[in-house]
Amino acid sequence: PPPHSCSDWIGPPDKHSNLRPIIFYVPPEESPLERRLREARQEAQACNQRFWAQQNRAFRQEKEEFIYSRLKAKGLEIRDDTGKKATLNAEEMADFYKDFLSKNFRKHMQYNRDWYKRNFTITFLMGQVALVRALRWLRWKKKNVGN
């Protein structure tokens, strides 16, 4: 994002977590409330990034391992004659999907609770900041009209 910009910028989805990173703009006279909001958003972003990058990585890795072990059991090579990677069909992968989901269930539960809490806090703070800004603008308008 350009240095003179006065707003947040959002980028393309991250390779590992599929989440879009945000670069937050820090205004020169940032009130404590605004700072709290920005820090909450940054924290949430970091936490989400960590969780999903790790999840996706684990998924990919375990999927590879599963395919490898299944192919081995069937007596096939990981790559066929044309050099393409051999894959299992959806029915064979179903066992893996079920397994992966149940293994990560508790992790997801915790993440959900965490995410809902953060989401509500951030939105509430956004509301407070918007309200304060609106009041400030009204006061400034009144002052100007008075002059």
Distance CA(115)–CA(65), nearest Å, equals: 30
The distance of closest approach from Cβ of residue 22 to other proteins in the complex, given in angstroms and rounded to an integer, is: 7
Tell me the H-state helices in the chain. 32-74, 90-103, 105-146
Report the chain's C-alpha Rg in angstroms. 24
Q: Exposed, middle or buried, 115 (CB in 10 Å: 0-12/13-18/19+)?
A: middle
With residue 23 as reference, give the H or E element that holds it.
Answer: strand 22-23
The distance of closest approach from Cβ of residue 59 to other proteins in the complex, given in angstroms and rounded to an integer, is: 5
Decide: is 86 part of the binding site for other proteins (CB under 8 A): no
Judged by beta carbon, residue 52 or residue 86, the one nearer other proteins is 52
Rule CB under 8 A: choose which of 46, 101, 134, 135 binds other proteins.
101
Decide: is 119 part of the binding site for other proteins (CB under 8 A): yes
Please state the separation of Cα 22 from the chain's center in Å: 10
Distance CA(20)–CA(82), nearest Å, equals: 37
Decide: is 20 part of the binding site for other proteins (CB under 8 A): yes
Rule CB under 8 A: choose which of 29, 77, 81, 91 binds other proteins.
91
Decide: is 122 part of the binding site for other proteins (CB under 8 A): yes
**Given the rule CB under 8 A, which residues bind other proteins?**
1, 5, 7-13, 17-20, 22-23, 48, 52, 55-56, 59, 90-91, 93-94, 96-98, 100-102, 104-105, 108-109, 111-112, 115-116, 119, 122-123, 126-127, 130
